[in-house]
Each structure stands twice: as C-alpha cells, then as structure tokens.
Structure 1
C-alpha cells in the first residue's frame, strides 16, 4: 500500500528520516557518475539536489524514480532498510519528470484517472481525489479539455496533480520548472508549499536554477558524483566571503587578468561579467574604476552572493558548466 504523506509507515520511529541514502554509486560504462552519494531527508522537508549537468543529480533522480539500478548503496524508508528500487519506495513516491509525460489527447481528468488506475487507487477514492487535485491546481472549469490545449504552466500543474493522485509520502521532481515563465513558476511553487503545509509532503528535486534552489529547506550540493555539502541556502551563501563585484566589459578575460595583476585579487569570468569576491567589497569598486582608462569598462556593480556564487566557492565549478546530462 502507498504510504500516506500524513502518516509514517508502520514501525517508523518519530526521529527517522523519511528517506535516507548512503554510498549510492552508478557507472555509465567506464564513466563513474555517482561515487558514494549520501543524503537524508526529513518528513515534510524540501531538499534540492543542486548542480550543473554532469554533476550526477539527474542520475540520482533516475535511481530514486526506479528507472536505474544503483551499483552500490543502501536505502532506508522511514527508518526501515529497503532494497534499491523496491516497490515500497515506488509506491511511496510521486514522480514529476523534466520531459512532459502527459497524453495530450486526453483531458487533465482522464490523465489523472489513468494514473490512479496504474497506482491501484480505489475508484471511490479516485472520484473524490481527482477533482480536488485539479481544483487546487487552478484548473477548475478546464478539467475536460485536451491537455494539449492548456498553457505550459497549466500542463506542468497537471503533471504535479498526476504525481499526487495516490497520496505519496515523497514527491521526486526533475528540474520541475524548466521553461516556465515567472507567473507559472510562482503558481507551481505556491502549490508545492500548500501541499507541504497541509499534508507534510516530503519533496526532493533536482535543479540548477538558483531561484528554484532558494525555495528549498536544504540543498545537497553535488559535484563529481558526490554530495560535497548539504545545508540551508543561507548557510551555503555564507561560505562566500564578503560581497561580489561584477565588472562588465567587452574583453572580460583581459580585464580579469589585469585585476589580478594590478590589485592582487582573484577574478573569475562568468556569464554576466568578471566576478571579484571580497569582504567590504564596496571599497573595491572605486579602485577597479580608477585602475582602467575610460571606455574599458561598461559597468561595475556590487551585489550580495547568490547560490551560484556559493556553488562556485564550494566546488570550483560553475552551475552553468557540464555538457552531458547525468
């Protein structure tokens, strides 16, 4: 039987994590994608797997979704040891994939009804639950339209409702808001937060978007197939010393080299310009402006560290790096 989000499985202790993984490993041929990743997620917690393509987060998602068997690792659900890919974990989980998975020719109501049958939800429970889920998703009045006629944000909320039709204890999502506009992003996350408050839903998601990562209670920072840090967004940002000066110029590599040579400070070239991190960084802005002749710099600005800065400080890599999804 699926485990309700509102209650722990029989025999679980109050202090046990909802889900705990230890030493999870996986290879694609000769390439080691996960190298002993470990993570514990508490009931009702939202934990993000943060990293660029190639860090191992999508492979870990596939293992949690039951799509890939790990080469090694132990799993515990509500304090009880379970085999990797066990039916108990699949039954306790709702999955939202990055790629669209709805049948566009069917209505939202029909997509949820099909999912309910696959999860063996009793018919009476499905008849009661499906309209409530679609109403919560803001789809009242459009539940019988073919899904292909709905907006991208609406379709994404249907995917979420479908994942919840069997009342899972854990919601596992892969880059859930990729491609959504700002309004759809806010609506999607408002629904997640409401579910967490109402039912104690535990959420695990992969993301490389700092805005989405900020919504998490904790972030597991993945690099090279290992969880190298796991903490709150604020605690991870605090690992960046001081503030960040961003220098915009036509030749950022040359500017970065000159800042290091003239001011003796490390400078990194990022997508939005040259980044220089320093405590009391406001005192650095006039020094940088004075170090270059007029016309060399387009703009110099100061801002607080972001999670992208924190990821770079912790791992030495950018969230934008990584060519192969893993």
Structure 2
C-alpha cells in the first residue's frame, strides 16, 4: 500500500449548546453566510477544523470562544456522535470525520463574533430543527435528541452518480434553451429512470424545464448566490450539491458544462442515442471506451438507450 492509497481525513469539531428542560431542550444554531459553503443553511453554532496537536474537545471549546464569545471547559463537553462522511467526488478533502459534542455549561452570553460568516444566531427546539439544516449536522442533532449513547454514523458512502442524457449522432444535446427533438417514449424512459430520485442540473436546464419535476427532488447548481426558485434546492458547488442530494443514487441531467464536470467521476451513464444530428452548441462530453464499459443496448423508435458503467 502506498501513502496515496491510505484513507486520509479532515477532522472537525462541532458544538451544540443546549438549554431548557431535559424533556424539551433547545439548541443554538447559526445561519451560515459568506463562508462559500452551505450558506443560507442552519448549522451548529460553533464548529471548525481540529488543529495539529489539538484534541477535538479543545477544538470545540476554542471554536465556542472564537465564534460565540463564550468560554467552555473541555471537561464539560459530552460526546454526542462521530459522523464519518464523504461524497461521490474523488477529492481527498471530501473524506471527513466530524466529532459532535453537547453541553449545557458555559460562561458568557453567546453572540455573533464572526459576522462575515454568520448572519444570525437562534435557539431552535431540538425536536423541530429548521428545514434547511446542513444534512450531516441534522443527523447528528437528531441523534442527540433521542438521548441515545454516542455512536458512529456514516454519510455519503452509498452515494453514486448517474448521468442521464439524450444525445444526437453529432453529440448535440441542445441549443442551450431547449431539446432539439420531441421523443415521448424517451421522456417516459427519463421519468421511469429518475422516479423518486434526486436530480442535479444547471440553472439553464432548470429554466428550460421551467418547474420542478413531479416525484423528484431537484438540486440546481448556479454561481449566482442570489438565485432561487420555488421547488429548487440551490447549490453553488459540487460538494454542496452532493451533500444536499444525500446518500443515494444522484441523477445528473444537464446541461453541457454540468455533464462535462460530472463525467470525470460519475459511476454510470444512461444515454439515449438519438438517430438525429441537429444543429446546436451544447454537446455531451466524449465517452472514452477505455474508461466506460457498455453493459446494455436497448433499441427504441428513433433512439437507442445505452447504459455504460465505469471500468
């Protein structure tokens, strides 16, 4: 085994400040803002990377001081859960171990110490977390709410990525605004393939569809941090999109740049090869047969459904 084969992680410590009766506690959460990751989501009020030579207990206490202006004795911290998480990206930085602690004991009044990173602090009932709670933090806090002993949770290890596309003989998938063909049978195939799943798409693809598709969640990738639309879950990077999508098969459905990004690390391609060669500037990325193995070919009227898996 070489050093590059070994499992490497980025460790972080998270602190849940609790108040109120044992049977109905509240937890202090921060609304992330200006961090470049999961902004607009609620998260533990204090969290950060464990520094070299530092225990996770001391890291959590340090973050409480730096982010909330309160003093916490590491001996007053109770372990809650360890979350080992990843996502479908091959980036080693996405191999993470998050150590969650809780406490009811601190000195000082919590307040925003880093306004460039936190828009708001608010106490929430632990049993009724806000909808937009960072997914892996939600799992840890839900475990805390049960009162169960500390445990290990995993997140993202079952996640796979499938590209679903309809592609002309010349590689064209569209003109940037609409599909260049009308194939009702392929639309049925798309619906059957993605039913009950999570779609990831670019903003232009979302706008060409114009609405969320029934029976599926939709994560929209966009660099515009002010963009939103009813029914769309917004992400500004692939790590955000995949964390939001969850621990399951994720369907990438366009457009051209989104496909080009994802094909480098996707697990499966489900491509309808359309028997047309329309004009258009949006194309599907080249499929290298040295990297992709064809596993099925299903001819239909006017197109063929080809499934490939990564070698």
In the superposition, the TM-score normalised over structure 1's length comes to: 0.29
- Tell me: higher relative CO, structure 1 or 2? Use CA pairs within 8 A at least 6 residues apart: 1
More helix by share: 1
More strand by share: 2
